[in-house]
Amino acid sequence: MKSKLNITIAQMDTAVGDVEGNAVKILKIWEEYHRVSHLIVFPELALSGYPPGDLLLRMDFIKECQRWLELIRDASAKFEAIALIGTPFYEGDLYNSALLVGGGKLLACYHKHFLPNYSVFDEKRYFRKGTYGTMVELGEVKIGISVCEDLWHPDGLERTYAIMGAHVLININASPYYFGKYEFKEAFLKARAEDNLCYVVYVNAVGGQDELVFDGRSLVIDPDGHICARAKAFEEDVLTVSLDVEKVKRRRLLDTRLREGKEKYHVISCGAGTYRELEALPPRVERNPKDEEEIYTALKTGLEAYVKKNNFSKVVLGLSGGIDSSLVACLAVDALGSDRVVGVFMPSEFTSQESKEDAITLAKNLGIELYQFPIDVIFRSFRDTLGSTDFGVADENLQARIRANILFYLSNRYGWLVLSTSNKSEASVGYTTIYGDMAGGFAPLKDIYKTLVYILARYRNSIKPDIPERVFQKPPSAELRPGQKDQDTLPPYQMLDQILMLYIEEGLSKEEIVSKGMDTETVEKVIRMIRLAEYKRSQAPVGTKITPRAFGKDWRMPITNMWGY
């Protein structure tokens, strides 16, 4: 039957700029799976890595992509299957393209139509939009090709493809993760399949790149809106699925909606490759992680990718005996292994005995190396040198900056990456010391509110109870002066985080937040702190994006901002 199609989803972790490495990985997967598949599909911009940013403004980089594309094309002559590869493609101008390659030839080319220009995306800066669709035929199976946003956009090509007779819609993606996004994607992909009475093949990237994480979870949806295949979450995976296109034909005989449609765009149809009869393979549907597991795995993936792709041998972080540093230490060990994580305990005269015991216990439980450097003498030397007689905020922050100096000395001496332990609640309101505890090369908790820190730490302890129970019970404190507690300066974190989420994630005004039952004076104070801390956040290290609106490319506020005061 020429209406049976085996498609292999190659859910790849690519490295931005490593064109050779990405090309070798593409060819290796192709060689391994070409005999069991008609078509192997790779993610968006798999050849260049995603997102390549201003590398796309360099002609030498574009030529390197072109050179490797030609080598892949030539190598394809020995493979029985054809492949769909995401790549930058220069054709008088630069396009974000999906190229169909096989038999030593470039068989078809599709240029992305809808170029997102919001949040972490800047595609109009780099690419020209495509103007035509591309539909290919393998045996009796017609396939419509699109790239990422083209399927997400309400005016995409999927309806045109379906009207033109496409049985399968293939959409290649490099879709960055945030919590809650997968459920939305699954729902709309099911709707696309049901509305167009066809299979939808959604191929996503996986891994981490700077602040972004890609969760994989590539999907195949049948014409009834059912998941018939799902790749692993947050892991590289290669999944071959057999599609019975007769199911599409039967559905369209019973549901005649597509007969009423009219063609909107010119669609190029081209034959590609020689159809072969292949054995149908059983479907595989991987499990979907639960909420805390999903977020924790995303953080672990982002940290591991940043360390690996920037060639750091080890990471180092300050252990205070508090919840934030405890969670970061667990993440680092789970991502890298205990032999690549170094903790540093740096007590002052204000550090409690309990904090010391908890930091030492945590390090022992995790099996990591722990250095201890008391900062009392250094602190007194600074104060004596500066002639400090009273004790104020500057003296509190001085301790945090001394600790940062020690961490960066170790980083400089041994080539280790410093992990910041600051969280999103602190960064939002500036309750963090610039060039102190917020300093680092990477901030795993940058997009994690304090209340979520506790939830994730509890989740991690449910797997292995490495964090001492007392860390969960004692009031949060930076221990920079006698008896200091976070709530001396901030509202309770439950209240603070609610206000922050309403203001940052949902964009509500002061009046709208107050109308939800929040105290007016508290809301005004928090918003004022958010605005005053903008200059700090602009100098913060990169960290994994978890929410729809993370500080960084999602949040582009002016530092000098007179609005709303």
469 catalytic? Reply is no
Q: What angle do CA 487, 449, 355 make, to 5 degrees?
A: 55
CA dist., res. 175 & res. 405, Å (int): 37
Q: What angle do CA 244, 198, 27 make, to 5 degrees?
A: 70
Q: How many CA atoms lie within 13 A of 285 on its CB side?
A: 7
Chain centroid, CA 388 distance in Å:
45
CA dist., res. 408 & res. 212, Å (int): 25
Q: What angle do CA 526, 530, 531 make, to 5 degrees?
A: 120
Give the CA distances from residue 306 to residues 29, 178, 233, 312, 447, in Å, rounded to whole numbers and listed in that order: 24, 17, 18, 9, 16
Which region, left, alpha or beta, applies to residue 281 given φ > 0 means left and ψ of -120 to 50 means alpha?
Answer: beta
Three-state DSSP class for residue 243: strand
Which region, left, alpha or beta, applies to residue 483 given φ > 0 means left and ψ of -120 to 50 means alpha?
Answer: left
44 catalytic? Reply is yes
Residues forming a β-bridge with 506: none
112 catalytic? Reply is yes
Which region, left, alpha or beta, applies to residue 337 given φ > 0 means left and ψ of -120 to 50 means alpha?
Answer: left
The one catalytic residue in 25, 65, 109, 112 is: 112
CA dist., res. 447 & res. 441, Å (int): 15
The one catalytic residue in 25, 64, 109, 148 is: 148
The one catalytic residue in 44, 149, 158, 396 is: 44
CA torsion through residues 304, 305, 311, 317, sign: negative
CA dist., res. 58 & res. 68, Å (int): 16
Locate tokens 């059983």: which residue?
282
Q: Which residues are catalytic?
A: 44, 112, 148
